[in-house]
Amino acid sequence: MLSWIGANIGTMIVCIVLALIVTAIVLNMIKDKKKGKSPICGGKCGSCPMSCSGCGCGKRK
């Protein structure tokens, strides 16, 4: 078992780092959603590619 871990330690470290990065991104998206920010335009209707019809930032006032 220890020889298998030793042979695959690099892969395991990369997987752990990627999992941490993905977790941080998802948590940040959840935090932004709770604050009412749109993942599409960030709440800036002037730069919204959907003219605020689909992102919902035009609904907040």
How confident is the model over 9-57, as pLDDT tens digits?
999 999 999 999 999 999 998 998 888 776 666 656 666 666 555 555 5
Q: Hey, what are 41's tokens? A: 């335009």
- Please give the Cα distance from 19 to 11 (Å, whole number): 12
Please report which helix (H) or strand (E) contains residue 29, including its range: helix 9-35
- Please give the Cα distance from 14 to 27 (Å, whole number): 20
| Residue with the larger pLDDT of the pair 5 and 53 | 5
Tell me, what's the pLDDT at 4? 93
Tell me, what's the pLDDT at 61? 45
Exposed (0-12), middle (13-18) or buried (19+): which is 45, by Cβ within 10 Å?
middle
Tell me, what's the pLDDT at 16? 98
Tell me, what's the pLDDT at 41? 64
| Residue with the larger pLDDT of the pair 4 and 61 | 4
